Structure 1
Amino acid sequence: MTYEFTTGRLTVIDWRQALQICGESFYRQLLALLTPRVTQALPDCWQGVSAATIESWFAQRAAEGEILTLLSPESHDLVGLLLLFADERADASASAATLHIGYLLGEAFQGKGLAKELLQGLIDHCRALGTVGALVGGVEAANQASRHLLEVCGFGIQSQNREHLFYQLQL
């Protein structure tokens, strides 16, 4: 199943394709995205990635789920990542998958409406596919910007604990 799509300002493609397009600058651009500010709310394995470990670190992340890259259509610069994980607990007989989503944008690309454009593009694409029944995204409770974004895109709170909220959108 391919989840590749385009929006007005983003080309969302599999990371292997982006690696071919970007060539040797791919890992350098990826490392530049992973600043402490961008990764602060992410799991420990996303912290402290270095030039010496970026390729093996990325291979480990790619083995965990599907990674799509967000490229600028004009420059082919790496803008961010979209991570998709199929719900392993879902009923195998269910006709539509539940996808858990995660995304990040480099600091230089934040605050420009790209996250909303990305999510709306993903929602539209998944609806067109007809094989995805729901999208689920988790955020830190203190991350008001991400919470607002999910709500604006139609997600509702599925569950929460003291530190995190989990939002779901039925497609």
Structure 2
Amino acid sequence: MSLSQIYFSTPRLTVAALTPQSAAIETLVGELTLILTPSVKQHLPPDIQSVNDEKSARKWLLNVMGESTFVTILASDSGALIGFFLLYEEKEANGKSVIRLGYAVGEHAQGLGYASEMIAGLVAWCRGSGFIASLSGGAEANNLASIRVLEKNGFVQESNAEHSEGEQRTVFLSRTFC
């Protein structure tokens, strides 16, 4: 099993890895421009800040798909894009994978429990995969909602794991599986 095969569902969500050959890319590009509003992007890395139209969304998406696994989070009832995961995999000497997680939830879906549900689903998938040793992610120190979502799903803050970049501080959290 590999990250490119990730697929799971939760009571309200369908979660699946996107491949570069997927016919859904063009539809996704349009949806990305709708969910990546300024308030959503304010907590995301610098490379995503330039996404503001379909052309820039396509360029960004193809770039991140070259370095990570892009995973769509869709509403099960409507098929609408709720958000996405970016999963960056590193192999350990024992063959297990260490995964760095980035995620975003569209403004229209915030405050409705989707972030907790999608992270819980990802944690369950990782635990059941048998090949993932840990999952880790960072959140801006002032993004308390994201930190709470991760902590609610068993992530713990790493000791001495704050990183300052300019004015922003990032808090790193991780969850170990084996």
Q: TM-score, normalised by structure 2?
A: 0.86
Match of 2:98 in 1: 98
Q: Per residue, is there more strand in 1 or in 2?
A: 2
* Deviation, structure 1 residue 26: 2.5
Runs of 4+ in 1 over 3 A off after TM superposition: 16-20, 22-25
Show the counterpart of 2:37. Answer: 35
> Any stretches of 5+ residues in structure 2 without a counterpart?
none
Match of 1:62 in 2: 65
- For residues 64 and 24 of structure 1, do their structure 2 counterparts lie closer, same or farther at Cα, with a shift above 3 Å needed? closer
Q: SS of the residue aligned with 1:121?
A: helix
Partner in structure 2 of residue 6 of structure 1? 9
1:12-46 deviations in Å (ceiling 9; x for gaps): 112249953x5753221111011111111212210
**1:82 alignment counterpart:** 85
Identity over aligned pairs, percent: 32
C-alpha distance in 2, partners of 1:107/1:10? 16
SS at match of 1:111: coil
Q: Using a 3 Å threshold, how does the CA distance of structure 1 residues 150 and 24 change in structure 2: closer, same or farther?
A: closer
Count of equivalent residues: 167
Amino acid at match of 1:113: G
Within 1, Cα distance between the matches of 2:20 and 2:77? 16
Superposed, 1:17-28 pairs within 5 Å as 20=23, 24-28=26-30
Find out whether 1:140 has 2:143 as its counterpart.
Answer: no
Shifted more, 113-122 versus 36-45: the winner is 36-45
Once residues 140 and 23 of structure 1 are traced to their aligned partners in structure 2, the CA distance between those partners, rounded to angstroms, is 29
RMSD: 1.9
Mapped to 1, the partners of 2:22 and 2:42 lie a distance apart of: 25
TM-score normalised per structure 1: 0.89
Q: Aligned partners of 2:28, 2:22: CA distance in 1, in Å?
A: 6
Structure 1, gaps ≥5 residues long: none
